[in-house]
Structure 1
């Protein structure tokens, strides 16, 4: 890598195909994260190899968005791919959700910490894709994490951007309930539960959740794609608008 970026052996996180290091700039002393991906481990895995090639391109396109992890440098050598990004050392949402913690409906940025300033950041765009890659604006391919993946993806056919609305709805459900809407003892059982798509709101968990929030969840986590909300409809929903106003008014 360039001479002005140095790896720091603290805060190392290992993932399937490599390691994430804390690194710093020799010029400014500012800390960053360096995601180093082992190219040899990817040599036999065509799907993940293509995903990791797309990730820096998508991050570059999204550069400047305050809620997206910023890509500062991208390097490649004989053994590895290296991506230098924002350092998000405040934990992640999954840790909080998996601990059974639920959040109130008035979710403020400082309720969920990611980077050292408490700013929420989205990361890991390896399985992202461009919407409209085919002539009819649909996508194909079975990608996703069991709890969050939409049924259209699991069925193996074509789907559109609404699969992300489904996933966002599942995340919102977990944030409010502290538990996923679809579950099982194995990935197969979780997938079967997702395909059934039976959305429930147990009274013991949702007693303090408003009817407006539950109505939005029904429209996001909806098996009927024609009736399911688009991202634009979600953003214009009264519950979302009310949460925004609550954040502005403190």
Structure 2
């Protein structure tokens, strides 16, 4: 259910997804005659401090990075003691992971997707943001066919030091320096993007045993 604040701008349509902490619904804005996605999170389910930090982090990062054609954009938000609702780009009901499973994945397609992915990452890195969890499941597509990087809950700012730390990411996609516990910078996203390219072309991650 939409908050009273968001009800003044958007009409709630159908549910389009569900996760550990809430639901994603399609909403319609009569003023702009446009559809968006509403990500509704039940904060009472966030008992883990890491999950809470991720929840607080994502809208801040998305606001900083919006707008960009290769980043999932945030348009509006509402927060109370129990709920966080984000109005974001409405993307198609599949990710790059689903595209990789299709038999018509080709080198030209992979190159086109990779170009858009790197444009999105370059935009993040210009703002000192490291995504830290680049993988096919976090890469979406809007209804114009643009590739969109999403799920910024694991991202971090490099700050004045220019490095970050912490074991964050997904096995097979995470860079070696992260696994080894060393300080790292935005290059870990480039490594992960390289793994994504490999998976698009080979169908499996590198170093798979």
TM above 0.5, yes or no, is yes
CA, structure 1 residues 130+174, in 2 after alignment: closer, same or farther (shift >3 Å)?
same
Counterpart position of 1:97: 100
CA distance in 1, matches of 2:71, 2:202: 25
For structure 2, which runs of at least 5 residues remain unmatched after alignment? 114-138
Contact 1:68 1:122 in 2 (8 A): yes
Counterpart position of 2:134: none
Counterpart position of 1:175: 200
Contact 1:19 1:36 in 2 (8 A): yes
Query: Equivalent residues in 2 for 1:74-113 (5 A)?
Result: 74-89=77-92, 91-98=94-101, 102-105=105-108, 107-108=111-112
Counterpart position of 1:45: 48
Could you say what secondary structure the match of 2:185 adopts? coil
Could you say what secondary structure the match of 2:151 adopts? coil
Counterpart position of 1:14: 18
CA distance in 2, matches of 1:32, 1:145: 28
CA distance in 2, matches of 1:41, 1:100: 39
Contact 1:89 1:114 in 2 (8 A): yes
Query: Equivalent residues in 2 for 1:167-246 (5 A)?
Result: 167-183=192-208
CA distance in 2, matches of 1:100, 1:159: 36
Q: Tell me how large the CA RMSD over aligned residues is.
A: 2.3
Contact 2:72 2:89 in 1 (8 A): yes
Contact 1:97 1:179 in 2 (8 A): no
Q: State yes or no: 1:139 paired with 2:164.
A: yes
CA distance in 1, matches of 2:171, 2:50: 17
CA distance in 1, matches of 2:57, 2:177: 23
TM-score (norm 1): 0.65
CA distance in 2, matches of 1:60, 1:23: 19
Structure with higher strand content: 2
Deviates more, 1:71-80 or 1:149-158: 149-158
Contact 2:140 2:149 in 1 (8 A): no
For structure 1, which runs of at least 5 residues remain unmatched after alignment? 185-250
Q: State yes or no: 1:69 paired with 2:72.
A: yes
- Higher RCO by CA contacts (8 Å cutoff, separation 6 or greater): 2
Contact 1:101 1:175 in 2 (8 A): no
The count of residues paired between Structure 1 and Structure 2 equals: 179
Q: State yes or no: 1:4 paired with 2:31.
A: no
Q: State yes or no: 1:117 paired with 2:122.
A: no
Bigger CA radius of gyration: 1
TM-score (norm 2): 0.77
